[in-house]
């Protein structure tokens, strides 16, 4: 039972990494295929073995193309996110060097003496 829980968590971690629209598309296509599986098998029996073989190869190529596209998309999303983080860090370093202000990740700004200059939540509390 312990192994089942581990594999179940692993499955959910993989599912969380798949983009939502791609996951819904895959779920929709697979549900249609499973729902009409008897019709698909009957049609494949009528059209012949060679045609079914070529259709199977075409399906495999399409799935491989979609997987390659998704992998490239995830890779470029990662690179873009990394670039945005780098630019944000460079901006904060420039602000520190030029004005002496320190900007934290939650957008709290400190001056050189360590006093808070701006923070939305603190400003609201001070006003009340």
The verdict on 58 and 27 lying in the same domain is no
Q: What angle do CA 26, 29, 30 make, to 5 degrees?
A: 80
5: containing domain? 1-35
pTM exceeds 0.75: no
Does residue 48 share a domain with residue 22?
no
Task: Give residue-wise pLDDT tens across range 98-119.
Answer: 887 777 777 778 777 777 777 6
Task: For 56-74, write each residue's pLDDT tens digit.
Answer: 899 999 999 999 999 998 8
Quick one: 13 and 28 in the same domain?
A: yes
- DSSP element (H, E) containing 102: strand 102-103
Instruction: Identify whether residues 11 and 43 lie together within a single domain.
Output: no
> Looking at the 3D structure of the chain, how many domains does it have?
2
Residue pLDDT, tens place only, 12-44: 777 677 777 777 788 888 888 888 888 877 877
């Amino acid at each position: 039972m312990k192994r089942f829980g581990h594999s179940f968590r692993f499955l959910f971690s993989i599912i969380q990494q798949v983009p939502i629209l791609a996951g819904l598309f895959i779920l929709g296509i697979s549900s249609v295929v499973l729902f009409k599986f008897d019709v698909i098998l009957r049609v494949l029996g009528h059209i012949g073995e060679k045609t079914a073989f070529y259709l199977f190869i075409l399906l495999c190529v399409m799935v491989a193309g979609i997987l390659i596209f998704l992998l490239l998309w995830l890779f470029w999303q990662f690179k873009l996110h990394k670039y945005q983080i780098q630019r944000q860090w460079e901006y904060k370093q420039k602000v520190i060097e030029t004005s002496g202000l320190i900007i934290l990740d939650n957008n709290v700004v400190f001056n050189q003496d360590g006093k808070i200059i701006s923070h939305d939540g603190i400003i609201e509390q001070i006003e009340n």
